[in-house]
A and B are shown apart, each in its own frame.
Chain A
């Protein structure tokens, strides 16, 4: 719960001191007489009443809320036990839950932390209006919420899915880790037992040897020590591996993550033209045009056409040039933009000068 809610929470109210916890506002039955008194609320109006009342009033169908001046139509289905003692908090939490299910954008969707925080602030303002607002303010906020929901259904769904996936992955990781821990423990136990066995055996052997071969007591003892140590080592190393193997649980995490990123880009179909469209807008290019002048070409004089010369290419060019720039008004366009084009060539200084401005040029020496 954020600070805003905290400030509105009446922190002085203590459980047990509020009389409404013991008496049903509708039937006035009290806890003294009915120790199992249970209160339910309905999110339509957050008016609290005991379960007996709910049964009595709403079992046979939807009915009006009995609290005076409320009268909202309530359904038995809507009633549930309040999570919080304070009904205003219950209401606020419900509102927040509803808003969060719609405004579920994630930090990575924003270009900067600042922008994300701005978004969070906007959402918080909306929540305030929904919680505290009366009448028009609240209605406007509710409208905004609905509009956003309708307008962003796809993103909302995606983010929901993402959240769910993450939650699942989290769970999976947890179980994996738990599993890993359990196995480790077992392995440890096992190893301890084995070690003990080795040591015990070594001890027995040594004793036997010592018993049988008196001469090389020191050697035997030394050897025994070595065995004990050796026995422990490799097994200890084997240990680390299971943990690594469980790292593959993390491996699966990253695989999931990758898929997620590629999906949106794969959605865009390949456009062989790369977005370029140079279709004529001011004329319809014909396959052939009459022209005295072109008669020679059309008759293939001088093998004009055999080599592939294309009259359609020429037609396209002539038609294009006839209309290219027809609606480009230099007097207007050049005035508006004293610094000529931002792009390529060697332009800008002339433009500055072109507006008749005095130009300072550094004397190169």
Chain B
């Protein structure tokens, strides 16, 4: 079927005769072309949000991809869901070794969105942390993973994007051991001054105090807090501040880090949802942390403490994290090929991908963000 050239304006041509009229838009043609670049293979898994298929590049069948087909959610009546929009919007713009690559997007005939992502077969960091029976790792390994996570988040912030859902579950591992930030379903651009954002983001256990207190104006510091909690979890091999409700989360937080007060965080008591338990706990000092997080070493603990500073305006930034001394002290960060790895995490990666970003399955409702009210989302 030839498209018309501009020299022959009145030519009637084959599109008229083609029996099927549904594929005649140029945009649709391009979509078809894109779709045909990939061979969809077997289904890796099925979920309510998306199905995941293993796929290959037609031009090079050794190149594996994951094709995430997003299902139309019947309970959301506002068209394309915000989490799909966010994933698409931001992954299209961000290209970095520590961020999952979106290779392509196309729609299938039934108008379902298909995201072609790089295939990351080795599961996520949560799996490695939890598998205390089979997997051992040390300070050098922690440093390597933290380095990759920090780089990924630095790149997001350098491109003015907040991730807003950092947790070990969202840190996927590539074939070569590289850690990749995934799940941009809650991500958004930095807000301009005066523009409010929702405080109802980030999975509860990794949520910073300013969000728990309901602030509508915040910065990249929210992500850094999450990074700090991932750091703590890597060392302890269990979540550090794991509350069952928001109130509980605040309580645990005050125990673990210290009570936010006007003294250590001017203005905090004016935040909309500010309540703290009595009596106040003083802010923990380095002896406390050194005892608990000894594996990280003194310099590592210093970095951790800077990530867990209560007042977000005093918390370390992503750039400062990468300039910290910890990266240069011993032990050196482990080389990727020597990092501990999970055996065959295919089920895991599927579980990761078919999860709806920003929302977690029922068994884990306890620790996730509440079901998001998209009407008031910002």
Contact = CB atoms under 8 A, between A and B. Distances in A.
- A/B contact in complex, CB under 8 angstroms: yes
10 contacts: A273-B151, A274-B97, A276-B154, A278-B158, A309-B191, A313-B219, A344-B103, A345-B104, A363-B1, A364-B23
Nearest to A265: B335
A330 interface: no
A361 B29 contact: yes
Given A273-B322, A307-B312, A358 B2 contact: yes
Interface stretch (A68-76, A185-193, A292-300): A292-300
Majority SS at the chain A contact face: loop
B29 A365 contact: no
A286 interface: no
B151 A276 contact: yes
Contacts of A356: 6
Interface in B108-163: 147, 150-151, 154-155, 157-158, 160
A135 interface: no
B33 A309 contact: no
B30 A346 contact: yes
A294 B194 CA distance: 9
A184 to B, nearest CB: 40
B62 interface: no
Contacts of B103: 344
Contacts of A329: none
B327 A272 contact: yes
By size class, the interface of chain B is 35 or more
Contacts of B190: 313-314, 317
B210 A307 contact: yes
Nearest to B327: A272
A346 B106 contact: yes
Interface-centre pick from A310, A343, A362 (highest chain B CB count, 10 A): A310
Nearest to A362: B1
A173 to B, nearest CB: 29
B2 A305 contact: no
A273 B151 CA distance: 6
Contacts of A294: 193
Given A308-B221, A313-B219, A303 B18 contact: no
A79 to B, nearest CB: 55
Contacts of B157: 313
B262 to A, nearest CB: 10
A289 to B, nearest CB: 12
A157 B259 CA distance: 62
Contacts of A297: 193-194
A350 B215 CA distance: 44
A270 B328 contact: yes
A365 B18 contact: yes
A304 interface: yes
Contacts of B1: 360-363
B314 to A, nearest CB: 9
Given A272-B322, A302-B217, A344-B95, A308 B313 contact: yes
B5 interface: yes
B29 A349 contact: yes
B363 interface: no
